[in-house]
């Protein structure tokens, strides 16, 4: 498959890819190579995270074959950090998008560098109008350099700062930059815990018609002096039941949904298959059909 150029209309009108796995191609767990080498893959696509490295995506495409759907998850475009665009990061994203023939590129509304210094945790977006305006401007500029659209994902929170709800912030960015959105249900739950809201409170603040992908992942819910903190741990823990309930509620409300992804970094292959079965049950309950069903 050659380079693929996707517009907003292309993405909205594209096929439903089904249920996929979010993998880190550098990680030892799960063993994604053995998963894709199975005669019958129990998942419908892969969302490929390369830690921003350019070029390694070509191995994934060769391994899965020319027609298997692949989505790309980048890091270090730093959408919400008010700095000039990172040209090497954009170049790496373009290389990987073309190698994967990915229909869109995911980037979290967070950053991991301050003045060129890497920090080993996400700094999520400041939830202010000024931050939204800065993010829109930067996202538009980045998208002008890439073969397909960067789609923002809500980050996890443990201490939100700003007067906007995260879903309202996403609405401003999605509409202002005219891009689709990725809604991570675990990250949303982390924010709702911080502000003392129910898991799906204020869902009307986000334009669900812009949501093309939903994420679920394992997490560790920690009680600290009576306060519940959401630790995003992906495959290191199981998906909390509350996230499956959120998925069941939100999925039917997204008219342009194109993918549901389980982020499985640090999971054993056995846990991956178990989590796929759990999410498939939600699909079955809703009557959602996908290739691996």
Q: What integer pLDDT is reported at residue 2 of this predicted model?
A: 41
Q: pTM of the full predicted structure?
A: 0.95
Report the distance separating Cα 42 and Cα 63, nearest Å.
16
CA distances from 117 to 111, 112, 113, 219 (A): 11, 8, 5, 28
Report the distance separating Cα 237 and Cα 57, nearest Å.
26
CATH number at residue 61: 3.20.20.150
Q: What integer pLDDT is reported at residue 246 of this predicted model?
A: 98
Report the distance separating Cα 25 and Cα 52, nearest Å.
11
Residue 4 has pLDDT above 70, yes or no: no
How many domains are contained in the chain?
Answer: 1
Q: Are 206 and 167 in contact (CB under 8 A)?
A: yes
Structure tokens at 186: 């675990």
Report the distance separating Cα 49 and Cα 58, nearest Å.
12
Domain assignment present for residue 293? The answer is no
**19-24/105-108 β-pairing:** unpaired
Q: Are 244 and 205 in contact (CB under 8 A)?
A: no
Residue 293 has pLDDT above 60, yes or no: no
| Domain housing 166 | 8-286
Domain assignment present for residue 278? The answer is yes
Report the distance separating Cα 199 and Cα 16, nearest Å.
25
Q: What pairs with residue 152 in β-bridges?
A: 107
Residue 292 has pLDDT above 50, yes or no: no
Domain assignment present for residue 250? The answer is yes
Domain assignment present for residue 265? The answer is yes
Domain assignment present for residue 89? The answer is yes
Report the distance separating Cα 239 and Cα 264, nearest Å.
10
Report the distance separating Cα 19 and Cα 251, nearest Å.
12
Domain assignment present for residue 1? The answer is no
In the DSSP assignment, the letter for residue 41 is -
Q: How confident is the model at residue 291 (pLDDT cuts 50, 70, 90)?
A: low
Q: Which of 83, 210, 103, 207 is nearest to 150 (CA)?
A: 103
Structure tokens at 279: 């999410």
Give 198-254 pLDDT, tens digit per residue. 999 999 999 999 999 999 999 999 998 888 989 999 999 999 999 999 999 999 999
Give 140-183 pLDDT, tens digit per residue. 999 999 999 999 999 999 999 999 999 999 999 999 999 999 99
Q: Are 63 and 40 in contact (CB under 8 A)?
A: no
Give 50-96 pLDDT, tens digit per residue. 877 767 899 999 999 999 999 999 988 999 999 999 999 999 999 99
Report the distance separating Cα 97 and Cα 223, nearest Å.
40
């Amino acid at each position: 498959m050659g380079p693929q150029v996707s517009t907003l209309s292309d993405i909205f009108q594209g096929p439903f890819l089904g249920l996929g796995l979010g993998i880190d191609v550098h990680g030892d767990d799960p063993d994604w190579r053995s998963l894709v080498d199975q005669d019958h893959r129990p998942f419908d696509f892969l969302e490929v995270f390369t830690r921003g490295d350019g070029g390694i995506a070509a191995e994934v495409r060769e391994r899965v074959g020319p027609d298997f759907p692949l989505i790309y998850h980048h890091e270090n475009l730093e959408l919400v950090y008010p700095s000039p665009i990172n040209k090497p990061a954009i170049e790496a994203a373009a290389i990987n998008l073309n190698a994967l023939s990915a229909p869109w590129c995911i980037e979290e509304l967070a950053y991991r560098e301050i003045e060129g210094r890497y920090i080993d945790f996400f700094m999520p977006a400041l939830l202010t109008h000024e931050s939204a305006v800065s993010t829109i401007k930067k996202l538009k500029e980045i998208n002008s350099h890439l073969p397909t659209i960067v789609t923002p994902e809500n980050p996890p929170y443990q201490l939100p700062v700003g007067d906007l709800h995260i879903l309202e912030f996403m609405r401003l960015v999605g509409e202002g930059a005219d891009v689709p959105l990725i809604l991570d249900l675990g990250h949303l739950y982390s924010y709702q815990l911080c502000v003392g809201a129910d898991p799906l409170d204020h869902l009307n603040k986000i334009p669900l018609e812009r949501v093309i992908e939903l994420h679920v992942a394992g997490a560790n819910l920690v009680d600290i002096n009576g306060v519940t903190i959401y630790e995003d741990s992906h495959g290191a823990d199981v998906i909390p039941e509350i996230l499956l309930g959120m998925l069941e509620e939100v999925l039917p409300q997204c008219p342009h949904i194109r993918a549901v992804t389980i982020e499985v970094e640090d999971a054993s292959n056995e846990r991956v298959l178990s989590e796929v079965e759990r999410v498939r049950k939600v699909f079955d309950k809703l009557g959602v059909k996908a290739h691996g069903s």
